């Protein structure tokens, strides 16, 4: 190990920065966040850097560097494009025993600035010893996606209760087991869900020895339209910690595979006229599993609150006092339209967009057709494959031109995506000539004409 990682407390300490440009500003921002007092030396100092120095209670020195500038400093940073000057700062600092960092010159450094994941008071630092800083930043980016922003609040919670826990559990092993349970259980989940007061209440109850009914939790998570890369960070985290996963037909297999390996998986169907599990039974199943103390993931295609019956499911949970979280997903309309190169709104074509279910009950056409033919809007029909001929016919009967552009997207955002474009007059015939299967999405409006110029996904796929 070439470098020993250390975390320095710089609050109230003076730090010398030699240089007044962009690089000096970037380093100074990082140092100022620790509460350090900046001393910046340069013939010219960037206005933002000067303001930062003033805010830190430091001093901007508009002149060249001198060895005495190191007086009283606990850290020196050389951030100029003058190599001899940088070398001089390094030599002077080392002679005084002051840690020194020279930007982009590892050989002149006694300390290295790492790539930092900041979840204060929790910090994660990654360093390549100055050999591959870009690689260190890439690793940091991966960590950023894995560590929720609320981990800092979780660490703050532990800090507030640390003394109580130490008094309650004098044995180190007992404390370790206690904190592991806190950080991996309902208390941590409450904090990560933004329910800090509830997390504190649960932690205090644990310390007071209170027990009660073992109750799990339900995560209602939107899986998006199909591409796993469109999942949110929170969705991935909950998918990895759930004990049971209930998923429907619209959730791509690649997304289901991202769930915890040892979680129980239950398929609940949900396709036209064939629900493997009736909705009422599914609602009750969520309640039953949660009352068994399990963390239950209800994984739904698209967004749970847009034609996903998510509201019905959490109504049942709320009625039984079951804790739940809702994680939005990218709904099929925005995801599929984007991957098809069809903007849903455009100043020249559509100033509004309307989402409509095309799953017509009992084959009827009980939609507000007069409202759907208003000019200047884009229509998006979910589950419109079977009802496509009726949808197009009714729109024309109620005033839309048969020449209105229209598109049908099959399995949007996935490698199997297919897009059929035409008009209200010919799209049903065009689709009938091909073997098309759900899930599909129908878009109606002038914005469809932009696909010819804006389609990007098929080109990206062809380049693979």
Active site residues: 248, 270
Distance of alpha carbon 41 from alpha carbon 85, whole angstroms: 12
* Cis bond before residue 194 (omega within 30° of 0): no
The answer to whether 428 is annotated as binding is no
The answer to whether 54 is annotated as binding is no
Taking a C-beta distance cutoff of 8 angstroms, is the pair 28, 40 a contact?
yes
**What does the block give as tokens for 126?**
């990654």
Helix (H) or strand (E) holding 352: strand 352-357
The answer to whether 412 is annotated as binding is yes
Backbone angles phi, psi at 153, to 5 degrees: -65, -35
Distance of alpha carbon 19 from alpha carbon 366, whole angstroms: 71
Give every CB contact of residue 277 below 8 A, 6+ residues apart in sequence: 268, 269, 285
Give the residue carrying structure tokens 């003394």. 163
The answer to whether 440 is annotated as binding is no
The answer to whether 44 is annotated as binding is yes
The answer to whether 323 is annotated as binding is no
The answer to whether 302 is annotated as binding is yes
Distance of alpha carbon 237 from alpha carbon 151, whole angstroms: 12
The answer to whether 306 is annotated as binding is yes
Distance of alpha carbon 15 from alpha carbon 401, whole angstroms: 71
The answer to whether 57 is annotated as binding is no
The answer to whether 376 is annotated as binding is no
C-alpha distances in angstroms, 56 versus 49, 298, 313? 11, 49, 52
Distance of alpha carbon 74 from alpha carbon 391, whole angstroms: 73
CB hemisphere CA count around 163 (13 angstroms): 1
The answer to whether 301 is annotated as binding is yes
Which residues fall in the annotated binding site for NAD(+)? 22-23, 43-44
Which residues fall in the annotated binding site for S-adenosyl-L-methionine? 225, 301-303, 306, 331-332, 383, 412
Which residues fall in the annotated binding site? 22-23, 43-44, 225, 301-303, 306, 331-332, 383, 412
């Amino acid at each position: 190990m070439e470098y020993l990682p250390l975390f320095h407390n710089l609050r109230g300490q003076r730090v010398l920065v030699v240089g007044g440009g962009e690089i000096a500003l970037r380093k100074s921002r990082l140092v100022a966040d620790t509460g350090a007092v900046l001393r910046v030396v340069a013939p010219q100092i960037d206005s933002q850097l000067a303001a930062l120095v003033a805010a830190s209670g430091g001093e901007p020195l508009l002149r060249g560097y001198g060895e005495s500038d190191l007086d009283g400093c606990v850290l020196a940073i050389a951030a100029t494009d003058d190599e001899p000057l940088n070398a001089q700062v390094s030599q002077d600092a080392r002679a005084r025993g002051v840690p020194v960092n020279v930007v982009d010159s590892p050989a002149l450094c006694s300390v290295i600035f790492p790539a930092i994941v900041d979840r204060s008071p929790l910090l994660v630092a990654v360093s390549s010893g100055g050999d591959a800083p870009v690689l260190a930043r890439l690793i940091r980016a991966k960590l950023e996606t894995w560590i929720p922003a609320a981990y800092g609040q979780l660490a703050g919670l532990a800090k507030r209760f640390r003394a109580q826990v130490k008094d309650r559990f004098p044995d180190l092993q007992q404390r370790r087991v206690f904190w592991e349970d806190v950080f991996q259980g309902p208390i941590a989940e409450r904090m990560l869900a933004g329910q800090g007061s509830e997390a504190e209440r649960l932690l205090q109850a644990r310390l007071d020895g209170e027990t009660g009914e073992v109750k799990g939790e339900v995560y209602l998570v939107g899986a998006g339209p199909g591409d796993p890369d469109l999942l949110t960070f929170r969705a991935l985290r909950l998918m990895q910690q759930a004990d049971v996963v209930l998923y429907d037909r619209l959730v791509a297999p690649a997304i289901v595979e991202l769930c915890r390996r040892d979680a129980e998986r239950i398929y609940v169907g949900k396709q036209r006229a064939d629900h493997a599990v009736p909705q009422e039974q599914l609602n009750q199943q969520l309640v039953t599993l949660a009352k068994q103390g399990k963390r239950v993931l209800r994984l739904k295609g698209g967004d749970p609150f847009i034609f996903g019956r998510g509201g019905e499911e959490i109504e049942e949970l709320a009625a039984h006092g079951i804790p739940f979280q809702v994680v939005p997903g990218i709904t099929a309309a925005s995801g599929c339209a984007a991957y098809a190169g069809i903007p849903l709104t455009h100043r020249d074509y559509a100033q509004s967009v309307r989402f409509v279910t095309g799953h017509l009950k009992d084959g009827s056409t009980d939609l507000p057709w007069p409202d759907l033919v208003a000019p200047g809007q884009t229509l998006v029909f979910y589950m419109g494959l079977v009802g496509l001929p009726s949808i197009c016919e009714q729109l024309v009967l109620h005033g839309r031109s048969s020449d209105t552009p229209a598109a049908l997207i099959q399995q949007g955002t996935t490698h199997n995506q297919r897009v059929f474009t035409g008009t209200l007059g010919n799209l049903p015939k065009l689709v009938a000539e091909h073997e098309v299967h759900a899930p599909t999405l129908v878009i109606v409006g002038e914005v469809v004409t932009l696909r010819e110029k804006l389609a990007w996904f098929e080109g990206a796929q062809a380049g693979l």
